Amino acid sequence: MKAMATIAVAENLPLSQMVGAGFMLGGFFLFLALTNSITLIGRIVPNSVIRGIQLGLGVNLILVAFRLC
């Protein structure tokens, strides 16, 4: 969800695209929760990958904030 929000802010997407992406992502997460696949993904993906993605998204938001000032 953080990644989607960051991309929406950084790319200045129209509201209709953000709403559509939100519904699709919500459906995908619902599927993962109902099939318990999220646990499997959590075991496979290392924490370093998660932290790297979070760092990249944070840097992207900082850059967007500086462009808006």
Over the stretch 28-40, which tens digit does the pLDDT of each residue have?
A: 989 999 999 988 9
Asked whether the predicted pLDDT for residue 9 surpasses 80, the reply is: no
Q: 7-39 burial, b for 16+ CB within 10 Å, e for fewer?
A: ebeeeeeeeeebeeeeeeeeeeeeeeeeeeeee
Task: Give the residue among 49, 3, 58 at the shortest CA–CA distance from 25.
Answer: 3
Residue 7 has pLDDT above 90, yes or no: no
Provide the domain limits for residue 19: 2-68
pLDDT at 15: 85
Average pLDDT along the chain? 86
Q: Does 68 score more than 80 pLDDT?
A: no
Q: Is residue 67 very low, low, confident or very high in pLDDT (cuts 50, 70, 90)?
A: confident
Domain count, the chain: 1
